[in-house]
C-alpha cells in the first residue's frame, strides 16, 4: 500500500506541475503522508523532475523544512 501512495504522489505532482502554488501544496501534503524512505526517494525524483521544469525549483525548499 505504501508503494502505491508513493506512485500516486508522483502522478499528482506531475499533473499539477503547471502551477507552482499547487505543486508546492501537493508536495507539502505528500511529506505528511509518505514514509521516511519514500521522502528520500521523492527528493531524488524531484531533483530530476525539476531539471525539466526549472520554474519548480523553488519548491525544493519545501523538502528542506
Per the CB < 8 A criterion, the answer to whether 22 and 16 are in contact is yes
Q: Please report the pLDDT score of residue 26 as a whole number.
A: 95
Q: Give the model's pLDDT for residue 49.
A: 93
- Tally of structural domains, the chain: 1
**Among candidate residues 11, 7, 18, 15, the one with its CA nearest the CA of residue 56:** 18
CA atoms of 23 and 58, how far apart (whole Å)? 10
Q: Is the pLDDT of residue 65 over 80?
A: no
pTM above 0.85, yes or no: yes
Kindly report, residue by residue over 8-47, the tens digit of the pLDDT. 999 999 999 999 999 999 999 999 999 999 999 999 999 9
What's the pLDDT at 21?
94
Give domain status of residue 33, yes or no.
Answer: yes
Closest to 23 (Cα-Cα) out of 1, 54, 5: 54
* HSE-CB of 63 using CA atoms within 13 angstroms: 17
25 found inside a domain: yes
52 vs 38: CA distance, rounded Å: 22
Q: What is the pLDDT of residue 62?
A: 80
The parent domain of residue 28 ranges over 21-65
Amino acid at each position: 500500500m505504501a508503494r502505491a501512495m508513493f506512485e500516486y504522489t508522483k502522478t499528482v505532482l506531475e499533473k499539477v506541475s503547471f502551477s507552482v502554488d499547487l505543486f508546492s501544496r501537493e508536495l507539502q501534503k505528500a511529506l505528511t503522508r509518505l514514509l521516511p524512505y519514500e521522502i528520500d526517494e521523492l527528493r531524488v525524483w524531484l531533483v530530476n523532475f525539476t531539471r525539466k521544469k526549472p520554474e519548480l525549483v523553488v519548491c525544493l525548499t519545501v523538502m528542506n523544512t
